[in-house]
Structure 1
């Protein structure tokens, strides 16, 4: 009879995610993974597979969690445009700048791995398209509320919002002063989300 696992899976996966997030895939060794999880090699591989499979697992979990949080933010916003602004400026929200410097795990993964790993490429592309779809629903709501141009294609606008937010993420990774990053984020949000009255018939 198989022995029950003697560890908490969520805790282990969170430790693995943070290790990959901080150091990247290439710079994370098996020894690093064993150290942060406290597991032996046999236990780690038996539970989650090799390093690459573990990476894909935590990347998928990260995307699921962040998209769930994004849906909640957008749903709870008094007006859809408020939720879109919060999404756009989120990379500059940490007053210490530590969050901006760390970046987005998905964006970091795409930058490091997508060109060389077809599975990471597919996962990254799918995740960004899913994110655009979530934001497109908020854009459509903002249009109904009169806060976004009625002429805009919601999905095209959503993809532009993702691209703008990822630009802020990239700037944060360079170590720019957090106050300056916040000013850039607010300016960009003003431009991307500026209210455009619907055309009169």
Structure 2
């Protein structure tokens, strides 16, 4: 009879996510995973599979949370255009720029692995398509609310907003001054969502 797990799976997955996020996939060793999870090699593999399987599980958990966050932000915004502007500026993060320098786990992963890992590439496409759909619905709502011109194509505008947000994410990773980064993000939002 199998022994019950003696660890908090959510806590382990969170710790492993933080490790991959900070060091990347290639920069994370099995020893790193054992250290942050508090599990031995056998327990880690028995519970989560190999490094790649564990990484994909963490990545999917992260992308599901991102999807939920974007949806919730749009649903809770008094006006859709506010949620769209906040989305573009979201990579700026905290005033000291630490969140901006850290970037987004999905964006970091896509840059590192999508060209050589078809599963990662598909996860990125799936997530970005889902976000685009939510943003397109928000653009349509903003049109109904009179905040976005009726002539704007919701899907094209949504893709442009996603590209702008990802560009801000990328620039944040370079260590750009947070005030400059925020001004850039706000300028992009203003151009894509003119008042």
Task: Report the TM range for the smaller structure's normalisation.
Answer: over 0.9
Counterpart CA distance in 2 for 1:54 and 1:102 is: 21
The equivalent of 2:194 in structure 1 is: 194
Q: CA deviation at 1:152?
A: 1.9
SS in 2 for 1:146: coil
The equivalent of 1:34 in structure 2 is: 34
Task: Check if 1:78 corresponds to 2:39.
Answer: no
Q: CA deviation at 1:93?
A: 3.0
Q: CA deviation at 1:149?
A: 1.8
Gaps of 5+ in 2: none
Counterpart CA distance in 2 for 1:33 and 1:93 is: 27
SS in 2 for 1:7: coil
Q: TM-score, normalised by structure 1?
A: 0.95
Q: TM-score, normalised by structure 2?
A: 0.98
Q: CA deviation at 1:61?
A: 0.4
Deviations 1:63-97 (A, max 9, x none): 10111111111111110000001111011131110
Q: CA deviation at 1:129?
A: 0.6
Counterpart CA distance in 2 for 1:153 and 1:188 is: 17
Counterpart CA distance in 1 for 2:93 and 2:121 is: 28
Report if the CA contact (8 A) 1:148-1:194 is conserved: yes
Map residues 163-182 of structure 1 onto 2, 5 A cutoff. Answer: 163-182=163-182
Report if the CA contact (8 A) 1:79-1:142 is conserved: yes
Report if the CA contact (8 A) 1:93-1:182 is conserved: no
**Most deviating of 91-100 and 109-118:** 91-100
Gaps of 5+ in 1: 196-201
Counterpart CA distance in 1 for 2:180 and 2:162 is: 20
Deviations 1:113-165 (A, max 9, x none): 00000101111111111110111111110011111121222111111100000
The equivalent of 1:121 in structure 2 is: 121
Counterpart CA distance in 2 for 1:93 and 1:119 is: 29
The equivalent of 2:8 in structure 1 is: 8
Counterpart CA distance in 1 for 2:101 and 2:177 is: 10
Map residues 41-120 of structure 1 onto 2, 5 A cutoff. Answer: 41-120=41-120
Map residues 12-27 of structure 1 onto 2, 5 A cutoff. Answer: 12-27=12-27
SS in 1 for 2:125: helix
